[in-house]
Amino acid sequence: MTQSFWSDAERHLVRYGGPFTPEIIERAAGSFVYTADDRKILDFTSGQMSAILGHSHPAVVRTVQEQIASLDHLFSGMLSRPVVELARRLAESLPEPLTKAMLLTTGAESNEAAIRMAKLVTGKHEIVAFARSWHGMTQAAAAATYSAGHQGYGPTSPGNFAIPAPDSYRPDFLTSDGEFDWRRQLDFGFALVDAQSTGSLAACIVEPILSSGGILEPPPGYLAALAQKCRERGMLLIVDEAQTGLCRTGTWYAFERDGIVPDILTLSKTLGAGLPLAAVVTTDEIEQRAHDRGYLFYTTHVSDPLVAAVGNTVLDVLQEERMEVRAQQLGAYLRAGLLAIQDRHDVVGDVRGRGLMQGIELVVDRKTKEGSDALGAGVTRRCLELGLHVNVVQLPGMGGTFRIAPPLTATVEELALGLEMLDQAIGDVVAA
């Protein structure tokens, strides 16, 4: 049966990224997934960085069972109670003036909707994003994604510009003290944008922590300065919190650390805790202007009641169990463990991140910071053999950077187990 499975997979599946994990997954529960031969694998990435409540959380399972038996999917122009309730609760969880929400399915779709709204409202078309961004694979989202996916698909929409990603580990601008001069880098980036712009700058879209870009966290103050750059140019600021939103970083939303409020916020992965649910949240003023100008984003699964009910359950669990506090506490434990691994292994060049969204970068030499895709691939394989799934950034030149994002429901014992296996895997690969 196993041979037949892989034969059918090779014959019938379209390959859409890196290689498939060489395991057949039969079921999942909590922090673990289980293979066809009943091998237990600790999931250190919450599925696709989404299952913040772990796999098959009892409250989510109960909601799906009850909701699908009564109301699952509707004509896109019809409304249901779960949809309106989730929109209200999202607004209540956010600072003013973010009060209007639209519920969709994926991160790419929510970013597509946000960019489309920004262009319509401003009457402009140019979009700025980080050079190592990932916002999705649909047209406008893909055009604003620079970490991968631009080669071979023809021209993107006109007016897309990249600014340097703020990488404190590999700074491209330095102060006289040798520290990362992010203000000068930001000025440089927007000087390039201004030189290329036709005067039609609509929006800037950013992740508060760049995930596929290598778990890059902008320094404190960076996002506030970026927001000011946008205001000076009449641009809207779109913050993509697909992975950082809803308690993962130790606050409900990662942008809170910097004291800013985006014009448009997009949520996805964590909102459905693994199910396809996304949201665009904006202000009354922007929503009204978009509506007046005929905003159109009519999709098959907009405002679907089933996943909206799941979103309400996710918010219930996050609020009742104070998951933002739990993410702070577990994040501190995880970071301490990763720093201890760095102390034991010279190939661990950097540890970075916030809360339960951490990253480590493997290097051949700490002084030169030379990376190694081969080293990252070897550690990934050895981790899987030991029973740990970690997600390496699968981009050329970045294969030594691991994204570590356990579910918020993980226990200290599970984090300790994952750290132990990661420690052993690095040691084994280096020794070999």
- Which are the catalytic amino acids? 134, 207, 240, 243, 269, 403
Structure-block tokens of residue 298: 């009519």
Distances from the Cα of 38 to the Cα of 24, 48, 169, 387, angstroms: 10, 21, 40, 11
The residues facing 359 across adjacent strands are 352, 403
Structure-block tokens of residue 4: 């037949």
Structure-block tokens of residue 86: 């989730």
* DSSP-derived 3-state class of residue 305: helix
CA quadruple 386, 391, 393, 396: dihedral sign: positive
Provide the angle, in degrees to the nearest 10, between the axes of the packed helices 107-122 and 284-292: 70
The Cα 175–Cα 372 span in angstroms is 28
CA angle 27, 31, 34 (to 5 degrees): 30
* Cβ pair 76, 299 in contact under 8 A: yes
CA quadruple 239, 240, 246, 247: dihedral sign: negative
* Cβ pair 136, 112 in contact under 8 A: yes
- Cβ neighbours around 302 below 10 Å, total: 17
333, 358, 319: which is closest to 45 by C-alpha?
A: 358
The Cα 142–Cα 150 span in angstroms is 8
